[in-house]
Chains A and B, each alone.
Chain A
Amino acid sequence: MTYDARFRVWRGDDSGGGLEDFTVEVNEGEVVLDIIHRLQATQTPDLAVRWNCKAGKCGSCSAEINGRPRLLCMTRMSTFTEAETITVTPMRAFPVVRDLVTDVSANYAKALEMPAFSPPDLAPGEYRMEQVDVARSQEFRKCIECFLCQDVCHVTRDHEDNKEAFAGPRFFIRAAELDMHPLDTRTDRTQFAQAEQGIGMCNITKCCTDVCPEHITITDNAIIPMKERVVDRRYDPLVWLGSKISRRKGA
């Protein structure tokens, strides 16, 4: 089962770089991250890669394999033929730090702009919620913040100038999660998604859903419902009137 695979790995930093060719041993059952680690241990000790859990739970080892955004630890070598050259490059939508490591700090800046959970006026221990109600938000809380959705989204992937106005799929599901949280007291999550996060720029190509390693139905379960509710609120005269005569809580 052991064979020598051909790998092309991007090496470089913010000043430039390029693909380097390697021939490296592959054993049964291995994933791409195993091969990157073997390169470190045997050929290139300073090859930069982020990783933590190696079990698809932490979302650290995001990169692009043959051009597709993926987790290195969840991409099995058996999905490629032995003759195939496997190309590993850093996430394209983020600035390179070194080799396969990118600067993902913009995501943390977006997170800081997202209004936090606004708790109800209940003592700790008195929260009561139905499983069916929490399940909707729980789907979005499966997010491991690998930022592959942020990487693949074409609104920003090739349009640097959209990055400021567009929060991206990871933060649309965060908005949806809070909007659907049974006890969150803010009522302006959809308006925030429209006015501050740029959800309107999403044109539902579902690339984010496609690359999500947690299989979160980002587009159908978060973005589309949020867009529909934005539309409801903006064009329904009764909702509009309601929003004018009753002060929203906790805002």
Chain B
Amino acid sequence: MSTDEQTPDLERRSFDVIVIGAGGAGLRAAIEAAEHGLKTAIVCKSLFGKAHTVMAEGGIAAAMGNSNPKDNWEVHFRDTLRGGKFLNNPRMAELHAKEAPQRVWELETYGALFDRTSDGRISQRNFGGHEYARLAHVGDRTGLELIRTLQQKIVSLQQEDIASSGDAEARLTVLAECTVTDLLVTDGRLAGAVAYWRDSGEFLLLAAPAVVLATGGIGKSFTVTSNSWEYTGDGHALALRAGAKLLNMEFVQFHPTGMVWPPSVKGILVTESVRGDGGVLRNSEGKRFMFEYVPDVFRGQYATTEEEADGWYADPENHKRPPELLPRDEVARAINSEVKAGRGSPHGGVFLDVSTRLPAEEIRRRLPSMYHQFKELADVDITAEPMEVGPTCHYVMGGVEVDPDTGASATPGLFAAGEVAGGMHGSNRLGGNSLSDLLVFGRRAGTGAAEYVASLASARPEPAPADVDAAVDLALAPCRRGAQGAGENPYAVHTELQETMNALVGIIRREGEVTEALEALAAIEERVAKVSSGASRRFDPGWNLALDLRNMLVVSRCVALAALERTESRGGHTREDHPVMDAQWRKVNLVCSLPDGPTSTRVELTRQPVPDIRADLLALFETDELAKYMTDEELTKS
């Protein structure tokens, strides 16, 4: 029986490449694919221009050297590896550091308006872990500028197509409020995707030989998160089911400064720019506690006294950096320790104070969104009083294992870029390295997909009708189980999943608790199999969530399994029972796959060596510093 007979109203569309995700990475990949002449679809889960990238605040890290001429790609590369505790894919970190400036300057040719230096160039601000002021920014709404600029560039390409062919969608089609539920793989190669329209609940078959995953992260598997509703690990799960592998899923970044009060805004991001521009962290005793938390690997680069630290803002040449600007993992752990030791703020955070550090007018100019966010949501005037902040789940370093140069995954035709891809950030991402990652690797994945499609010529894999039927059937399962009350409530199951991950696989992990989490996830899996959502499907958030749960579940299992396996503490993975960073573990990547195929949920975890750092890149570091991370054997070898 053909697909048409079973699902007569299935809408079918064909493209050269489908980009799933419309944030910075997806839009940049789509621009590149279109400029290579490919017929490209951009599938966005939300409206066009609403992707999670809009929430990025601080800036884009790029060694343009506008603020300090000593900055260059080598310094940026070094900072990135230090931030990731040397677990980064070194080739990705190299490409990222080298290409980020070009990607930022390119945005200006699309119409972006960054804040300026006094000589008219792009202004750059300080951020944690970056040796020099490196972040191109627009106040504290840099992500909005990025997404709007790319959105408007896509519109301009569509206008070119209208002018030349009369067809706005000759190269670029935006499928807004459209969610992919499964990828289609034929004979081991990518053949397309099955998706549904949010407004009607009707299904689409998208045929294409290449797919670029740019779906972002997994934060909605945690209770306290800065992430939006879309961050349900869709791309991670789609990749697994399509036969690709996930790398380093134990590394989840808890941003040190999320709002902690009122409860309804708990987790909303407070930009690192507050600290980059002079803000300091204090405990309930009024002490700037970060001086107590400078780890051995960073000793020598950070100030030990307040005088030294305060001198740095005006004269960075002759002072060491304030410890508030350590990488995020260090600051988040420190805040956690202070709260645990009973030195927290009234609502369980610590104090972040910029009011005593900058004039009110300057705060409003540099941090306008933060000013309004606190004023309107918490009745706090940040120009007059400190903020209360605490860690919030913000970013996943782990993701699809890809070829650094092309973004290609293990499945031919499947590419990934941005947060959904793994390797670039190692065990911890530096602030500002995300927006640059999106642009550098979004562009590369677009090129990678274009070259792959060209290599196929006319021999394109076709979606198999049985696979299409199976995907549609699976997506309809919650509707068949009847309306609310007949089965499990998707919202209740989601809450349990979030609470499990937050409590048991959160910022500090212990063997017993992670084991408990894996057992709880097995029980949640049984509940997910019973979620019901009613039959209408027309803009039905209950049904949408029911389908997202499948992705959150498998991704959460990957995080927990890898967190249990890695018996050390490094970056975004802290094991209370194994508190030390272990040089043997630096050589190991943990890799997740679904060995029994897409219909099984059994995750297999294997160990794989971290790629060697090329000699010329290794030579950028002093041996003394490498000795803090590497085994003696590695050091003598190099």
Complex CA–CA separation, A114 to B156 (angstroms): 9
Q: Write out, one digit per residue, whether chain A residues 86-108 have a CB within 8 A of any chain B CB (1) or not (0).
A: 00000000000111010111001
Closest to B110 in A: A117
User: Are B228's CB and A54's CB within 8 A?
Assistant: yes
Identify which of residues 25-62 in chain A touch chain B, using a CB-to-CB cut-off of 8 Å. 27-31, 34, 40-42, 45-60
Contact flags (1/0) for A128-159 with B, using CB distance below 8 Å? Answer: 11110010011001111100000000000000
Check A46 against B47 for contact (C-beta < 8 Å): no
Given the complex of chains A and B, what is the CA–CA distance between A142 and B543 in angstroms? 34
The segment out of A119-127, A196-204, A226-234, A235-243 that lies at the interface is A119-127
A83 within 8 A of partner (CB): no
- Is B102 engaged at the interface, CB distance under 8 Å to the other chain? yes
Interchain CA distance A53-B269 in the complex, whole Å? 10
Q: In the bound complex, do residue B491 and residue A40 qualify as a contact, i.e. CB atoms below 8 Å apart?
A: yes
Inter-chain contact B369/A57, CB cutoff 8 Å: yes
Residues of A near B141 (CB, < 8 A) are 57, 142
Q: Residue A112 at the B interface, CB < 8 A?
A: yes
Assembly CA distance A141 to B54 (angstroms): 12
List of A residues within 8 angstroms of B491 by Cβ: 40-42, 45
Q: Which residues of B contact A127 (CB under 8 A)?
A: 105, 108-109
Chain B residues positioned under 8 Å from A144 (CB to CB): 54, 144
CA distance A76 to B380 in the complex (A): 14
Decide if A119 touches B50 in the complex (CB within 8 Å): no
Cross-interface CB contact of A52 among B46, B120, B162, B199, cutoff 8 Å:
B46
Chain B nearest CB, measured from A141 CB (Å): 6
Q: Does A115 contact B (CB under 8 A)?
A: yes
A77 to chain B, nearest CB (A): 9
Q: Closest approach, in angstroms, between the C-beta of B209 and any C-beta of chain A? A: 28
Chain B min CB distance to A45 (Å): 3
Q: Write the nearest CB–CB distance from A3 to chain B, whole angstroms.
A: 15
A131 closest partner in B (C-beta): B116
Query: DSSP majority for the A interface?
Result: loop
Q: Enumerate chain A residues within 8 angstroms of B629, measured Cβ to Cβ.
A: none
Q: Are A57 and B262 in contact (CB under 8 A)?
A: no
Does chain B have a CB within 8 A of A116? yes
| Residue A188 at the chain B interface, CB threshold 8 Å | no
Counting CB contacts under 8 A, is A181 at the interface? yes
Of chain A, the residue at the smallest CB distance from B147 is A58
A217, chain B: closest CB distance, angstroms? 14
Could you tell me the distance in whole angstroms from the C-beta of B425 to the nearest C-beta in chain A?
22
Binds A, one of B329-337, B533-541, B610-618: B533-541
A74 contacts B by Cβ under 8 Å: yes
On whether the beta carbons of A53 and B228 are closer than 8 Å, the reply is: yes
Chain B residues with Cβ below 8 Å from A58 are: 46, 50, 54-55, 228
CB of A13 within 8 Å of the partner chain: yes
The distance in angstroms between the C-alpha atoms of A148 and B198, with both chains bound, is 22
Q: Is A111 an interface residue (CB 8 A)?
A: yes
B49: chain A residues within 8 A (beta carbon): 145
Q: Does B101 sit at the interface, judged by CB under 8 A?
A: yes
Is the pair B144, A41 in contact by a Cβ cutoff of 8 Å? no
A residues 50-82 in Cβ contact with B at 8 Å? 50-60, 74, 76
The CA of A104 and the CA of B50, in the complex, are separated in Å by: 13
Please name all residues of chain A whose beta carbon is closer than 8 Å to the beta carbon of B123 when the two chains form the complex.
Answer: 131
Cα distance A145–B372 when bound, in Å?
Answer: 18
Chain B residues touching A, range: 35 or more
Complex-state Cα separation, A149 to B604, whole angstroms = 52
Residue B152 interfacial (CB < 8 Å): yes
Instruction: Tell me how many residue pairs across A and B have CB atoms closer than 8 Å.
Output: 181
Q: Which residues of B contact A137 (CB under 8 A)?
A: 113
Task: Contacts A55-B269, A57-B144, A144-B54 given; indicate if A29 touches B533 (C-beta within 8 A).
Answer: no
Q: Is the pair A29, B378 in contact by a Cβ cutoff of 8 Å? A: yes
Closest chain B CB from A54 CB (angstroms): 7
Q: Indicate whether B355 reaches chain A with its CB closer than 8 angstroms.
A: no
CB distance B541 to A49 under 8 Å? yes
Bound-state CA distance A55–B140 (Å) is: 13
Given A116-B155, A124-B108 in contact, is the A104-B199 Cβ separation under 8 Å? Answer: no
Closest chain-A Cβ to B499's Cβ sits at a distance in Å of 14
Residues of B within 8 A of A215 (CB): 372
* A129 with B533: CB separation less than 8 A: no
Indicate if the CB atoms of B111 and A181 lie closer than 8 Å: yes
Chain B contacts for A105, CB-based, 8 A: 176
CA separation between A29 and B114, bound complex, in Å? Answer: 34
B158 touching A112, Cβ below 8 Å: yes
B264 at the interface (CB under 8 A from A): yes
Please, which residues of chain B bring their CB within 8 A of the CB of A31? 264-265, 377
CA distance A105 to B49 in the complex (A): 12
Q: Contacts A53-B54, A141-B113, A141-B138: A29 and B101 contacting too (C-beta < 8 A)?
A: no
For chain B residues 101-150, which have a beta carbon within 8 Å of chain A?
Answer: 101-102, 105-106, 108-111, 113-116, 118-121, 123, 138-139, 141, 143-145, 148
Determine the distance from Cα of A60 to Cα of B542 in the docked complex, in whole angstroms. 18
Tell me if B492 counts as interface (CB < 8 A to partner A): yes
Collect the chain A residues with CB atoms within 8 Å of residue B372's CB. Answer: 56, 215
User: Nearest chain-B residue to A120 (Cβ)?
Assistant: B109
CB of B490 closer than 8 Å to a CB of A: yes
| Cβ–Cβ < 8 Å partners of B376 in chain A | 56, 74, 76
Of A57, A104, A116, the residue contacting B111 (CB under 8 A) is: A116
Q: Is B54's CB under 8 angstroms from A57's CB?
A: yes
Kindly state the separation between the CA atoms of A57 and B377 in the bound complex, as whole angstroms: 13
Q: Which residues of A contact B538 (CB under 8 A)?
A: 13, 48, 97-98
Residues of A within 8 A of B47 (CB): 50, 60, 104
- Nearest-neighbor residue (CB-CB) of B492 within chain A: A41
B108: chain A residues at CB < 8 Å are 124, 127
Partner pick for A97 among B168, B176, B199, CB 8 A cutoff? B199
- Whether A56 and B155, one on each chain, are in contact in the complex, defined by CB atoms closer than 8 angstroms, is no
Does the CB pair A46–B159 fall under 8 Å? no
B102 touches A138 (CB 8 A): no
Any A CB within 8 A of the CB of B48: yes
Q: Quick one: which of B139, B145, B264 has the most chain A CB within 10 A?
A: B264
Chain B residues lying within 8 Å of A55, measured Cβ to Cβ, are: 55, 265, 268-269, 373, 377
Residues of A within 8 A of B492 (CB): 41
B247 to chain A, nearest CB (A): 27
In the bound assembly, the distance between CA atoms of A119 and B372 in angstroms comes to 33
Complex CA gap A58/B53 in Å reads: 9
- Does B489 count as interface, using CB distance less than 8 angstroms? yes
Top 9 nearest A-B pairs (CB, nearest first) are: A29-B262, A117-B111, A116-B156, A45-B542, A128-B120, A124-B105, A41-B491, A48-B539, A125-B105
Given contacts A48-B541, A142-B144, 17 further A-B contacts (CB under 8 A): A30-B262, A31-B265, A41-B489, A48-B540, A51-B229, A55-B55, A57-B141, A57-B369, A97-B199, A99-B539, A101-B539, A112-B158, A112-B159, A127-B108, A129-B116, A130-B120, A141-B148
24 contacts between A and B (CB under 8 A): A29-B263, A42-B491, A45-B484, A45-B542, A46-B541, A47-B541, A52-B229, A54-B268, A55-B265, A55-B373, A55-B377, A57-B143, A57-B144, A97-B539, A98-B199, A111-B155, A116-B111, A116-B155, A119-B109, A124-B108, A124-B109, A130-B116, A178-B111, A181-B113
- Contact surface of A with B, Cβ cutoff 8 Å: 13, 27-31, 34, 40-42, 45-60, 74, 76, 97-99, 101, 103-105, 108, 111-112, 114-117, 119, 124-125, 127-131, 134, 137-138, 141-145, 178, 181, 184, 215
